[in-house]
C-alpha cells in the first residue's frame, strides 16, 4: 500500500488541486520552448485555439503563466 501511494502521489495532488492534465502539457511546452503565441502552444499540444483561451486564462489567474505583448507584432500575445 505504501509503494502504491508513493507511485501514484501525483494523482492525489491533481485531484486535490483540481488541475487538468492539459495544464501540465502547456507548462511543459513553455518550459522547453520559452515564450510562444497561444496558437503555437495549441498546435504543439493538439488543443484548439478556442480551448486554449480558457486554459491560458486559468493559468494566468493562478499565476502559472503570463501574457506578454510581442515587440514585433502588436496582434500577437506571447505566453510565458
Q: Residues 35-56: pLDDT tens digits? A: 999 999 999 999 998 899 999 9
Helix (H, G, I), strand (E, B) or coil at 22: helix
Cβ(23)–Cβ(48) under 8 Å?
Answer: no
Alpha-carbon distance of 38 to 36, in angstroms, equals 6
When divided into structural domains, the chain yields a total of 1
Res 19 pLDDT > 90: no
Please state, in angstroms and rounded to a whole number, the distance separating the CA atoms of residues 77 and 80: 10
Query: What sections of 1-80 are H helices per DSSP?
Result: 2-7, 9-17, 21-33, 38-45, 49-61
28: domain CATH number is 1.10.10.10
% of the chain at pLDDT higher than 70: 78
Q: Which domain holds residue 67?
A: 2-79
Amino acid at each position: 500500500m505504501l509503494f502504491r501511494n508513493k507511485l501514484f502521489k501525483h494523482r492525489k495532488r491533481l485531484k486535490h488541486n483540481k488541475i487538468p492534465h492539459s495544464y501540465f502539457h502547456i507548462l511543459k511546452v513553455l518550459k522547453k520552448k520559452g515564450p510562444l503565441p497561444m496558437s503555437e502552444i495549441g498546435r504543439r499540444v493538439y488543443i484548439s485555439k478556442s480551448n486554449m483561451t480558457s486554459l491560458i486564462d486559468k493559468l494566468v489567474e493562478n499565476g502559472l503563466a503570463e501574457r506578454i505583448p510581442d515587440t514585433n507584432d502588436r496582434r500577437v500575445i506571447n505566453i510565458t
